[in-house]
Structure 1
Amino acid sequence: MKPVKQTKLYSADGIHNGNCLAACIASLLDLPLWMVPPFEDMFGRGDHTSRMIEWLNHMFKLELVWEDGHPVDELPEFYIAVGRSPRGVHHAVIYSKGEMVHDPHYSNDGIAEVDSVKYLAPLGA
Structure 2
Amino acid sequence: MKPVMQTLFGPEDGDCFRACLASIFDRDIETVPHFCRKGNEPWSTDTQAWLAHEYGLGLLSTMPIEAIEGLPKDSFIATLFTLPCHHLIIGRSPRGISHSVVGLSGKIIHDPHPDNLGLVEVQTWEFFVKL
Query: Normalization by structure 2: what TM-score?
Result: 0.81
3-state SS of 1:94 partner:
strand
Query: What's the counterpart of residue 92 of structure 2?
Result: 84
Question: Is the 8 Å Cα contact of residues 81 and 117 (structure 1) preserved in structure 2?
Answer: yes
1:47-79 Cα deviation digits (max 9, x unpaired)? 111101111111211111111124553255211
Query: What's the counterpart of residue 44 of structure 2?
Result: 49
Query: What's the counterpart of residue 33 of structure 2?
Result: 37
1:96-118 Cα deviation digits (max 9, x unpaired)? 12321100000000001321101
Q: Does 1:25 align with 2:21?
A: yes
RMSD: 1.8
Amino acid in structure 1 at the alignment position of 2:55? F
Q: Could you say if the C-alpha distance between residues 42 and 53 of structure 1 is closer, same or farther in structure 2, counting changes exceeding 3 Å?
A: farther
Amino acid in structure 1 at the alignment position of 2:111? D
For residues 113 and 25 of structure 1, the distance between their equivalents in structure 2, rounded to whole angstroms, comes to: 20
In structure 2, list runs of 5 or more residues that go unmatched: 66-76
Question: Is the 8 Å Cα contact of residues 58 and 130 (structure 2) preserved in structure 1?
Answer: yes
For residues 106 and 97 of structure 2, the distance between their equivalents in structure 1, rounded to whole angstroms, comes to: 21
Q: Does 1:109 align with 2:126?
A: no
Question: Is the 8 Å Cα contact of residues 72 and 97 (structure 1) preserved in structure 2?
Answer: no
Amino acid in structure 2 at the alignment position of 1:60? Y
Amino acid in structure 1 at the alignment position of 2:61? W
3-state SS of 2:112 partner:
coil
Q: Could you say if the C-alpha distance between residues 28 and 72 of structure 1 is closer, same or farther in structure 2, counting changes exceeding 3 Å?
A: farther
Q: Does 1:69 align with 2:64?
A: yes
Q: Does 1:9 align with 2:9?
A: yes
In structure 1, list runs of 5 or more residues that go unmatched: none
Query: Normalization by structure 1: what TM-score?
Result: 0.84
Bigger Rg over Cα: 2
